[in-house]
Amino acid sequence: MAILHPARLSLAIFLVVGLVYLIFGSLIRGGYRRVHEIYHEHFAHAHRERQLMAAIGFFLAFAIVRILTHSIRAGRGPFHNVEMGGRHIHHLVWGILLLLTVGYGWLLQFGTDQGSRSRWPGRVMALLYGVGAALTLDEFALWLNLRDVYWEREGRASIDAVVLFGSLLTIGVLGGRFLHAVAREALHPLGRGRRAR
């Protein structure tokens, strides 16, 4: 079963729209400060926030790369495979290069808690780490089988399910308390309106 099966795509869209509605609905009702407070309450420690950023980067990159590879294979859109000298460069290569760059940056203490007043370098490095991991693990079957099985049965079914489900779980585990608190805050005015009647 392909990752872009209509039922899976519909569920993913429903979840994303629901999450966006809860967060932005709360913001529209003047709750920006409250969402900001909830975020800082649940991600006061920089390392927890970096874990969340890495998970978000992982999930988004995985979803985007899957959509791009499907559109390339179907011949839709302006996207094409990257080739050098007639050799196809898999996105696994870009993922490894990104992981090496982030790893070296962390060796230099860039994006860590050491000597930085701002959390932005850590957020960016964690996001890039998640993207690099997604690009690399999306072609796990290639480095496991030492041949391109991306579109074959052995390269698709289990890897799609494990990686997508694992990334969603990671976001839920790391950001679950925050998302639950935002949902509770967004739904709180609804509860007050019912009680007032």
Q: What is the pTM of this model?
A: 0.72
How high is the pLDDT of residue 185? 83
Can you give the pLDDT at residue 26? 62
Mean pLDDT per 10-residue segment, the chain (197 residues): 52 66 63 77 81 86 88 88 92 95 93 81 92 89 80 71 69 75 78 50
Residues in the chain: 197
Domain limits, the chain? 47-76+89-178
Q: At what angle do helices 6-26 and 153-196 cross, to 10 degrees?
A: 40
Confidence at residue 5, expressed as pLDDT on a 0 to 100 scale: 56
pLDDT score, position 93: 94
First to last CA, the chain: 49
**Closest by Cα among 101, 163, 158 to 134:** 163
Nearest partner of 119 among 179, 172, 176, 45, judged by Cα = 45
Residue 161 · residue 17 · CB < 8 Å: no
Q: What is the pLDDT of residue 6?
A: 52
Cα 128–132–135 angle (5° rounding)? Answer: 140
Residue type, 188: H
Rounded CA-CA distance 68/78 in Å is: 10
Tokens matching residue 14: 């429903």
Distance CA(16)–CA(30), nearest Å, equals 21
How far, rounded to the nearest angstrom, does the alpha carbon of residue 163 sit from its chain's CA centroid?
11
pLDDT at 2: 46
129 within 8 A of 60, measured Cβ to Cβ: no
CA-closest candidate to residue 19, choices 159, 194, 186: 186
pLDDT at 192: 52
pLDDT number for residue 49? 85
Residue 161 has what pLDDT?
54
